[in-house]
Structure 1
Amino acid sequence: MSLSPITLIAPGTTSDRVAGSAQSDRVQQVAQLTKALYPADRQEKFLELQAEVETLFSQLQALQRVRV
């Protein structure tokens, strides 16, 4: 009986991927719903605001990691 090598994964790596995938799915769903509900100019503004929120959230997460 041979043992397979153990692979070490950094803490948070798997959950980060899962969270990123779930967020990506959510963003796609929101984009589809937005297209159906709003005129083009409002869609554009919504997507700009959504991108800004995601950027700010990423910056906040980075700051929290630095402080921990």
Structure 2
Amino acid sequence: YLSFILWPSLYPKLGVDAGGLGLTGTMVQALVMNIMGGLFMFGYVLKKTYDRRMKLDEVKGRMMEEM
């Protein structure tokens, strides 16, 4: 974010309006995207782990039955 503030010449290229409002808008947008992405990844990892655990339990159950 500092680089954006340090290089005002980049604002027009990025379509960001240097009037502050545009900048905070983009920052908020980026933050929301990061949070959403983080939550998505977290949920995905949790689901993966859960699925794997369920499979392990199934396998353990079968092994117990066979014994």
Calculate the TM-score normalised by the size of structure 1. 0.49
Calculate the TM-score normalised by the size of structure 2. 0.49
Structure with more of its chain in helix, by fraction: 2
Question: Which of 1 and 2 has higher RCO (CA within 8 Å, sep 6+)?
Answer: 1
Quick check: which has more Rg, 1 or 2?
2
